[in-house]
Amino acid sequence: MKKNMNKNYFEVLRPGINSTFQDNGRNNFYHIGIPFSGAMDNRNFLLANTISNNEINNPVLEFAYQGPKLKYIGENISINVTGDVNFKIIRKNKNLEFSCYENIILENNDCLDILSTNRSVYGYLSIGGTFEVDYYLNSCSTNTKAKIGANSGEKLEKGQIIHLKNIKKILPKNKIEYLNSKIENIRIIKGPHFDYFSKDAIDSFLSDEFNVTKLSDRMGIRLKGPKINNIKNTNIKSEGLVKGVIQITADGDPIIMLSDHGTIGGYPKIGVVISADYDKLVQIPPGSKIKFKEINLKDAETIFKLYEMETQNLISNIK
Amino acid sequence: MIKNISNLGDAALYCDFGTEVNKEINRNVINYFNNLRDSNFLGITNITPSYNKLVISFDLKLTSFAKLKKQVENLELKKNNNSKNNLIKIPVCCAEEFALDIKRLQKLLKINEAKIYETFFSKNYYCYMTGFIAGMPFLGDMDKSLFVKRLETPRVKVPKNSIGITEQFCNIYTFESPGGWNIIGKTPVDIFDNKKNTEPNLINPGDTISFYPISKLEYEKKYE
C-alpha cells in the first residue's frame, strides 16, 4: 500500500532568525533580475546531502545564527546537521546531545532544537528523505526579496508544518570528522575599477582590518573600516554583478555581494573574492575583523582546484 | 563590438562595449546576449546585459576564463538576432494618489502637469536592461525637458508597480522596494509575475515599451 505522503512532518515551534529552504540555486536568470540564491556555504550543503545519501541537489533547511526548534511527528527518520552547530534532541523530557556530520535518528514526538551556530553564520539540516517544497524556475531556493521558491518565498514561520516525503530506511551513520576552518584573510582578485582609487586607498584596502557589521545577510556583507576614497566618480553606469564582488559605496565603505545580491549595481568594483574562499567568507559573523589579500587569476584557479579536490575527498571519506 | 574582455573575479567575464549610454551600444550588448544564449557554451551560468557591459558568469568546475574568453571572441554573430524583442503596451494611471512626485516635478521642471504627461506618453521607450530587483526594467530615453535628478532622500518604500523617472531613464518598480526615482503613476499590470513558472517577466532587455494613460476607473477594472 502506498504510504500517506503527509504522515511525516515537522511542526515549527520556533522558526529561528533566518531559516529558508535551499538547494544549488537557479542559473540563467540574472538578466531578469533573479540572483543565484542557493545554499550560502556550498561545501556544507553538499556534505549534508551526501551524509543523507540524497541526490546532491536535494533541498536542505538552511539556518543562520539561531536555528529552528522543530517537533517531529512520524516514523523513525535519519537526519544530520552540518556546519559548526550546537543542537540537541529533546526526547521524553531528556536532553540528548549529538555531533554534526553524522546521521542520527529522530523518533516520533522528538523535538529537534537547533540552538546556535558557533562563531559562524550558516548551518544545514538534511533528512533521509525530502522536504516537500515548491519549486520555481528549476530550484526550490527561497529568495525572500522576489518572494519566490519554497515556502512561497518566505522564511520559516512559527506554527507552520513542514511535510516530508520519500522517507528512507534508517541510514548508516555516515560520519565524517570535519572542522570548519575559520579565516580572517580573504583572497581577492582586482576588480575592473581598481584604478578608480588612489594608491593610499588601495594600500589601506589591502593592509587594514575591516569590521563585519550587523548589516549583513544573504544579500551581502557590509564592512566598516578606513574609508576607501576614489579618485574617479563613484557613480558608474549600473552593470552586472556576481557573488563575491566587492563594491565601494559612495560613503567609501566596502560591501561584498552574496548569493541573494541585486543583479546589477552602480558602485565601482574594487575586487572580487576568489571562488575558493566564498564558503568561508559567508561564515564570518558580524563583529569579526577581516583583511583582504590580492592574488592573481592563475593562483585563484589553482586554489579552487585544490578546494574542489578537498571537498571531493571529504565526500569520499564519509562512511 | 566588444572593446575589451577582462575577468571579473575567477568565474566571470567582463565584456566592455564602451562608456556611453546609447541605444546603438546597448543593441550590440543585447545582440551578443541573444547570440550567447543560443550558443550553449559549456559552463555558462548567467549572462547579464547592462547599458554598455555584458557580464558572463560561469562554473569554474566546467570551464575557465581563458577558455570561455576565446569562445566569446570567436563567436559568430547572427545578424539582427532581435526576433526575441517585442513592443509592449503598458497602461499607467496618473491619479493623484499614485503620482507621488508630480508636484515636485512641476516645480523642478517648471512645466505643468498636463504637459509633463503629454511629453511622457508621446514617446516609446527602449529597455536597456532589467534587474536590480526581479524584473525591473530600465527604460529610455526620456525627452530632455523631463530630465530630473533622483529624490535627495530615497523613499523607504516605493509602492509596487509605480512608474519612476530620473535623468534620461524611466522604470517600473516590480516589487515594493526602497528607491529614489520620481514617481509619476502606477500600472495595474504585474511586470514580474512570481506565479508564472516560465518567463515571469513581461519586459526583456531590447524590448520597446509604449505607455498609455488610463483613468482611475479603468485602473480599478484592470486590477480585478
**pLDDT tens digit sequence for B8-50:** 999 999 999 999 999 999 999 999 999 999 998 999 999 999 9
| pLDDT tens per residue across span A253-282 | 999 999 999 999 988 999 999 999 999 999
> How many C-beta atoms lie closer than 10 Å to residue B73's C-beta?
10
In a domain? residue B145 = yes
Angle at B64 between CA B59 and CA B65, to 5 degrees: 110
Q: At what angle do helices B102-109 and B113-121 cross, to 10 degrees?
A: 100
CA distance A124 to B95: 49
CATH number at residue B54: 3.30.1360.40
Give one DSSP letter per residue of A187-221, joined into a string: EEEE-TTGGGB-HHHHHHHHHS-EEEPS--SSSEE
- Give the separation between CA A278 and CA A283, rounded to whole angstroms: 9
Bridge partners (DSSP) of residue B87 are B208
Q: Are residues B94 and B200 in the same domain?
A: yes
Residue keyed to cell 543585447: B30
B196 lies in the same domain as B104? yes
Q: What is the pLDDT of residue A234?
A: 65
Tell me, yes or no, if B138 comes closer than 8 A to chain A by beta carbon: yes
**Residue range(s) in chain A whose domain bears CATH number 2.40.100.10:** 185-316
Burial class of residue B199, CB neighbours in 10 A (0-12, 13-18, 19+): exposed
Asked whether residue B54 is domain-assigned, the answer is: yes
- Identify whether residues B51 and B155 lie together within a single domain: no
- What is the predicted ipTM? 0.94
Span A185-316: which CATH code?
A: 2.40.100.10
Look at B134 and A297 and tell me if their CB atoms are within 8 Å: no
Residues B99 and B197 both lie in one domain: yes
Output the pLDDT for position B72.
97
Question: Which candidate from A239, A244, A275 shows the least CB-CB separation from B55?
Answer: A239
For residue A1, name the pLDDT band (cuts at 50, 70, 90).
very low
Cβ–Cβ under 8 Å, residues A89 and A30: no
The conformational region for residue B199 under phi > 0 = left, psi -120 to 50 = alpha, else beta, is left
Q: Contact at 8 Å (CB) between A55 and A126? A: no
Judged by a CB distance cut-off of 8 A, whether residue B175 touches chain A is yes
Does the pLDDT value for residue B224 go beyond 80?
no
| pLDDT at res. A139 | 96
Nearest to A130 by CA among A209, A55, A39: A55
Q: Return the pLDDT at A73.
A: 97
CATH number of the domain bearing residue B165: 2.40.100.10
Res A99: pLDDT: 96
Mean pLDDT of chain A: 94
Strand partners, B16: B4, B53
Q: With bands split at pLDDT 50, 70 and 90, how would you rate the model's confidence at A244? A: very high
Number of domains in chain B: 2
- Give the confidence band of A2 by pLDDT, cuts at 50, 70, 90: very low
**In-domain check, residue B80:** no
Q: Is B10 on the interface with A (CB under 8 A)?
A: yes
Q: What is the pLDDT of residue B32?
A: 94
Percent of chain B predicted with pLDDT > 90:
82
**What residues of A are in contact with residue B9 (Cβ under 8 Å)?**
189, 191, 242, 244-245, 272-275, 300
Cα angle B81, B142, B115; round to 5: 140
User: Tell me, what's the pLDDT at A288?
Assistant: 96
The C-alpha atoms of residue A228 and residue B34 are separated, in whole angstroms, by 37
Residue B78 lies in a domain: no
| Domain range enclosing B49 | 4-73
Among A121, A116, A115, A87, which residue's Cα sits nearest to residue A214?
Answer: A121
pLDDT of residue B97: 96
Does the structure show a pLDDT above 80 at B83? no
In this structure, are B66 and B105 located in the same domain? no
Residue A77: enclosing H or E segment and its boundaries? strand A77-82
Radius of gyration of chain B from its Cα atoms, rounded to whole angstroms: 19
**Residue B80, pLDDT above cutoff 70:** no
Q: Give the span between the Cα atoms of B35 and B79, in whole angstroms.
A: 9
Is beta strand A245-248 parallel, antiparallel or unpaired with respect to A254-257?
antiparallel
Asked whether residue A3 carries a pLDDT value surpassing 50, the answer given is: no
Judged by CB atoms closer than 8 Å, whether chains meet at B194 and A147 is answered as yes
Instruction: Select from B7, B164, B153, B150 the least CA-distant residue to B72.
Output: B7
Residues B87-144 pLDDT 10s: 999 999 999 999 999 999 999 999 999 999 999 999 999 999 999 889 999 999 999 9
Q: Are residues B19 and B95 in the same domain?
A: no
Cβ contacts of B27 within 8 Å, gap of 6 or more: B82, B206
* pLDDT band with cut points at 50, 70 and 90 for residue A184: confident
pLDDT at A20 over 50: yes
Q: Do A275 and B64 touch (CB under 8 A)?
A: no
CA–CA dist A201, A213 (Å, integer): 20
Please, are residues A27 and B11 in contact by the beta-carbon 8 Å criterion?
no
B54 and B93 part of one domain: no
B50 and B93 within one domain = no
CA distance B129 to B51: 7
Grid cell for residue B92: 499607467
Round to whole Å and give the CA distance between B131 and B129. 7
**Do B41 and B144 share a structural domain?**
no
pLDDT of B154 over the 50 cut:
yes
Q: How confident is the model at residue A250 (pLDDT cuts 50, 70, 90)?
A: confident
Cα–Cα distance between A256 and A223 in angstroms, integer? Answer: 8
- Could you say which of B73, B98, B126 is where a domain stops? B73
In this structure, is residue B161 part of a structural domain?
yes
Residue B81 resides in a domain: no
Give the 3-state secondary structure of residue A302. helix
Final residue belonging to a domain, choices B73, B103, B119:
B73
Q: What is residue B177's predicted lDDT score, i.e. its pLDDT? A: 87
Which residue of A31, A192, A300 is in closest CB contact with B14? Answer: A192
**A66 or A182: which leads in pLDDT:** A66
Whether the pLDDT of residue A224 is over 60: the answer is yes
Asked if B95 and B182 sit in the same domain, the reply is yes
The Cα B194–Cα A189 span in angstroms is 35
- Torsion angle, CA of A270/A276/A278/A281, rounded to 10 degrees? -90
As a whole number, the mean pLDDT across chain B is 93
How far apart are the CA of B158 and the nearest CA of chain A, in angstroms?
A: 14
Cell output for B127: 529597455
| Residue B186 domain flag | yes
* A2 vs A222: which has the higher pLDDT: A222
| pLDDT at residue A313 is higher than 50 | yes
Percent of the residues in chain B that have a pLDDT greater than 70, as a whole number:
96
pLDDT score at A182: 83
Q: Say if residue B185's pLDDT is above 90.
A: yes
Please indicate if any CB of chain B lies within 8 Å of the CB of A234. no
Give the pLDDT mean for A150-171: 96
Read off the C-alpha cell for A113: 532544537
Is residue A5 pLDDT above 60, yes or no?
no
Residue B153 within a domain: yes
DSSP string, A154-190: ----TT-EEEEESPPSPPP-----------SEEEEEE
Query: ∠A153-B46-A300 over CA atoms, to 5°?
Result: 110
- What percentage of chain A exceeds 90 in pLDDT? 89
